Chain A
Amino acid sequence: MRTLTRLTAIALLGAALPLQAAIAQDEPVTLTWTMWSGSDAETAVWRHLADMVTEQHPDITIDLQTASWGDYWTRLPVQAASGQLGDIVAMQSLRAPNFYQILEPLNERIDGDGFDIDAFDSSIVGGLSVDDTVYALPYDVGPWMIFYNKDRFEEAGVELPEPGWTIEDFTEKAQALTSDGNYGFGFYPVDYAMFSSALGVDYLDEDGNLALNSPEAVGAAETLANLVTEQEVAPVVASGPDSGTITSGRFDSGNIAMYVDGPWVMVNKAQDVDFEIGLAPLPRGEGDLEAVTAGSGFGIAATSDNKDAAWRAIQVLTGPEALEYLGSEGRALPARTAQQASWFDVAAADVYGAREALEYSLEHSATYEITSNWNTVENLMNQYFPLALTGNQSPQQVMDTIQSLATQ
Chain B
Amino acid sequence: MSQTSEPLATSRRPTSMARREAGTAILFLLPSLIGFLAFMLFPIVASLGLSFTNWSLLAPPSFVGLANFQRLFTTDPIFFTILGNTLFFTAEYLVLNIVISIGLAVWISSLKIGQRWFRVIFFMPTFTPTIAVSIVWLLIFTPGGLMDYVLDLLQVNFPNLLLDPNLAMQAVIVVTLWASVGYNMILFNAALDLVPQSYLEAAKIDGANAWQRFWYIRLPMISPTIFFGTVMTAITALQVFDQIFVLTSGGPGSSTATLGYAIYQNGFQNYQMGYASSMAWVMFVLIMMLTGFQFWLQRKWVHYDS
Contacts and interface: CB of A to CB of B under 8 A. Distances in A.
Contacts of B76: 408
Given A241-B246, A376-B269, A408-B76, A246 B253 contact: no
B84 interface: no
Most buried by A among B75, B138, B163, B247: B163
A246 B265 contact: no
A384 interface: yes
A19 to B, nearest CB: 29
Question: Do most interface residues of chain B lie in helix, strand or loop, or is the interface mixed?
Answer: loop
A366 to B, nearest CB: 27
Nearest to A81: B57
Interface in A195-243: 235-241
Interface residues of A, number: 33
A74 interface: yes
B125 interface: no
Contacts of B249: 239-241, 379, 382-383
Nearest to A243: B249
A367 interface: no
Given A379-B249, A404-B77, 20 more contacts: A78-B268, A80-B58, A81-B57, A101-B58, A237-B143, A238-B160, A239-B250, A239-B251, A240-B248, A240-B249, A241-B246, A373-B270, A379-B269, A383-B251, A387-B253, A390-B164, A390-B252, A392-B253, A408-B71, A408-B75
Contacts of A404: 77
Nearest to A71: B268
Contacts, number: 99
B253 A383 contact: yes
Interface of B: 56-59, 71, 75-78, 138, 142-144, 160, 162-165, 245-254, 257, 265, 268-271
Contact of A384 (B138, B164, B245, B253): B253
Nearest to B165: A392
A74 B248 contact: no
A390 B164 CA distance: 8
14 contacts: A78-B57, A80-B58, A98-B58, A236-B160, A236-B163, A240-B138, A373-B270, A379-B265, A384-B251, A384-B253, A386-B252, A392-B164, A401-B77, A405-B77
A169 B75 CA distance: 45
Contact of A77 (B58, B77, B164, B165): B58
A396 B253 CA distance: 14
A393 interface: yes
A102 interface: yes
B57 A382 contact: no
Contacts of B138: 240
Contact of A387 (B57, B162, B252): B252
Interface in A45-95: 74, 77-78, 80-81
Contacts of B268: 74, 77-78
Nearest to A386: B252
A352 interface: no
B143 A236 contact: yes
Contacts of A390: 163-164, 252
A102 B58 contact: yes
A133 interface: no
A333 B148 CA distance: 39
Contacts of A240: 138, 162, 246-249, 251
B76 to A, nearest CB: 7
A47 B304 CA distance: 63
A376 B272 CA distance: 10
Contact of A238 (B57, B77, B252): B252
Contacts of B144: 235
Interface string A369-408: 0000101100100111011001011000000010011001
